Structure 1
């Protein structure tokens, strides 16, 4: 998981070999949500950091997914439309939400690596 970057909103980002970035939610996020029963995926296009781009509904609650950084969504994971449970089964794999082209790749340096994210989870749990 060392190539992953994480946000405080429990999203992960992975740079692919073609330069695109794949985005999903972490194990922590999917576990907190419970069984995901519906995923509304974003439209392709440009978004700003913080824009609501997807919605997850679970047996516990509905949750919005925010755009983690500025960029253009270039692909969505159509598998989630018919199989939203993939978010629970493989959040770091088949449960990804979308792929994007970053507006500025240097923004990845400001996100947490795995060690920093683990410390963030520990600090949040202790608070």
Structure 2
């Protein structure tokens, strides 16, 4: 299992959020999630300008095994999407916490991030899943 970066917050459904400090939050799926999915072959991202709702499906990642919804951890407006994933969805498999980010949201309620799991709590959740 790879290291879980200390600057991320997580949902139990394996999405991560990185607070960028300018009212924006970058969203992606965890390394654990990409391992469960296997080789990703397609990613459907929201459009810039779309409004996403915390807890609602905002993107889809598709692997050779299954398609899986990605839930937004925060509410706000999409201000950037990782267009490189259209041609190289496997970037998520290779670098889930780096180049494999999905989209950036301008957050309406910054406190929503505080309700997410910190890296330690997320690691504990993964350990429970393994048993």
- Fold shared, TM-score > 0.5 on shorter chain: yes
Judge conservation of contact 2:92–2:101 (CA < 8 Å) in 1: yes
Separation in 2, partners of 1:5, 1:40: 22
Match of 1:43 in 2: 47
RMSD: 1.1
Separation in 1, partners of 2:45, 2:126: 26
Separation in 2, partners of 1:72, 1:60: 31
Find 1:115's aligned residue among 114, 120, 124: 120
Match of 2:73 in 1: 68
Q: How does 1:1-127 map to 2 (within 5 A)?
A: 1-44=5-48, 45-126=50-131
Structure 2: gaps of 5 or more residues: none
- Where do 4+ consecutive residues of structure 1 move more than 6 Å? none
Structure 1: gaps of 5 or more residues: none
Count of paired positions: 126
